[in-house]
Each structure stands twice: as C-alpha cells, then as structure tokens.
Structure 1
Amino acid sequence: MRLCVCLVLLSFILCASADSAISRAGRFVKDAAGGAWDMFRAYQDMREANYKNADKYFHARGNYDAAQRGPGGAWAAKVISNAREKWQSDVSGRGAEDTRADQEANQWGRNGGNPNRYRPEGLPTNY
C-alpha cells in the first residue's frame, strides 16, 4: 500500500513539474514573441520620427519594453540587437564607436534603465 501511495505521489510530482516546465517554456516563447514585437515597434517609431540623434533612445526603449515582458522578451531583445549591430558594423559601414554606443543603449534598456536617458531634446512626446 505504501508503495502505491509513494508511486502515486511521485507521479503527481513529476506531472506537476512537467506541466510547470511546459508552462514556463510557453511563457518564454510568448514573451519572446512580444519582445520581438516591441523591438519592431520601436524600429517603426524611429523610422517614422526620423529625428536627428534619436536612434539611441529608440534602441533603449525597444530593449526596455521587450525586457519588461520577462526572460523571453529580454532574450529576444538581445538576439535582435546583436544581429542588428553585427549587420550594421559588417554591411552598413558605420563605425565601431557607433556600434558600441548602440549596444550601450541596448543594454541600458534591457537592464531596466529609463530610455529617456537617451531622449534627444525636442523629440515629440508621442514617442
């Protein structure tokens, strides 16, 4: 009888932890998708604003918004930011200094820093 009770309890614990792991994985994927959307939205806003010296603000804002979703959002922001900066340094010909400054803004936002640190004076408030 004890063996049966132990097996039932063990199977319950294993199922519960498997459900929990599936739930966490699902949450991570959902947060990553939302984080990718946040990054895309910040990019769209940056293009729409077309405002001088505002790119660091939009980098920080996109990363901040994505990371606020949780680990999945922060992961998506990091992957997207790194890919963009790799492309920018390899293809677009922008210098290492610009890439370093962009990555600083990316990390600032991902770590919960206020994106307004990089907000240029006069940028419309709808951004």
Structure 2
Amino acid sequence: MKLFVYLVLLSLLCASADMSPIFEGGRFAWDAARGAWDMFRAYKDMREANYIGADKYFHARGNYDAAQRGPGGAWAAKVISDARERWQSDVSGRGAEDTRADQEANEWGRSGGDPNRYRPAGLPSKY
C-alpha cells in the first residue's frame, strides 16, 4: 500500500513539472492515479483469488486496465511493474525466469493485448 501511495504522489509531481506536452498537466496526473488504482485492484484481486497459475493473468490485466487510461496510466503501470519486478528479483529471491515471464505479461497488457491470454482454466469469472 505504501508503494501505491508513493507512486501516485510521484506521478502527481512529475505531471506538474512541465516535462512534455504529452503530460498535459492534470490529465496525465489523473490518468496516472487511476492507472495506479487499476494496478492495486489487480493486485488485490490476485491476493483474494489465491489461484495457482493466475499470477501472469493479473499482471496483464492490471497493466491493460491502467494503460487504457492513457499515457499517465501506462506510465504508472510501467513504473509499478518495474518496481515490483525489481523487488521480486532482488529481495524475494524469485528467479530471473519468473521475472522475465512477469514482465512479458506486463508488457502484453500495457500494449493492449487481451489479458485472457494468461487466464488459467478454472479461474472464477468474478476475475
């Protein structure tokens, strides 16, 4: 949760700094905040589902939903995904192969790919 709050605040600071016309000030910040929320919701659903083999689906879904918000959402999804994968590879001891597969799912969702590509059979339709 602290990471989520930190990233939302960071997105607001970056958006308020006149970095590029694509940021469009408040719109970028709003999209980034909503994208960060999409990422958090996917993470929360993943934890709630606790379904073996569904990890990549939730990675793709969170990135997809966030990227649909626009440039700010896509930016938030990339920042959050990269930070999460860096933490997993550095701290949690998960292997490079798992990190690579997670990043593939992240990029697939962010680029507009259907998250259901990674949906495991039997995952409740609620998700």
The normalised TM-score by structure 1 is 0.82
Percent identity for Structure 1 against Structure 2: 83
1:1-127 map, 5 Å? 24-127=24-127
- Tell me the number of residue pairs that the alignment of Structure 1 and Structure 2 aligns: 106
Shift of 1:25: 1.2
- CA offsets 1:30-75 (integer angstroms, 9 cap, x no match): 0000000000000000000000000000000000000000000000
Structure 1 unaligned residues grouped into runs of 5+: 1-20
In structure 2, what is the Cα distance between the partners aligned to 1:56 and 1:113?
Answer: 13
- CA offsets 1:4-36 (integer angstroms, 9 cap, x no match): xxxxxxxxxxxxxxxxx6x92110000000000
Moved over 2 A (4+): none
In structure 2, what is the Cα distance between the partners aligned to 1:25 and 1:74?
Answer: 15
Q: Which residue of structure 1 aligns with residue 17 of structure 2?
A: none
Structure 2 unaligned residues grouped into runs of 5+: 1-20
The normalised TM-score by structure 2 is 0.82
Residue type at the aligned position of 2:102: D
Residue type at the aligned position of 2:103: Q
Q: Which has the higher helix share?
A: 1
Q: Which residue of structure 1 aligns with residue 15 of structure 2?
A: none
- Higher Rg of the two aligned structures: 1
In structure 1, what is the Cα distance between the partners aligned to 2:101 and 2:60?
Answer: 11
CA RMSD of aligned residues (A): 1.0
In structure 1, what is the Cα distance between the partners aligned to 2:46 and 2:114?
Answer: 17
Residue type at the aligned position of 1:65: D
When structure 1 is superposed on structure 2, of 65-74 and 23-32 the one drifting more is: 23-32
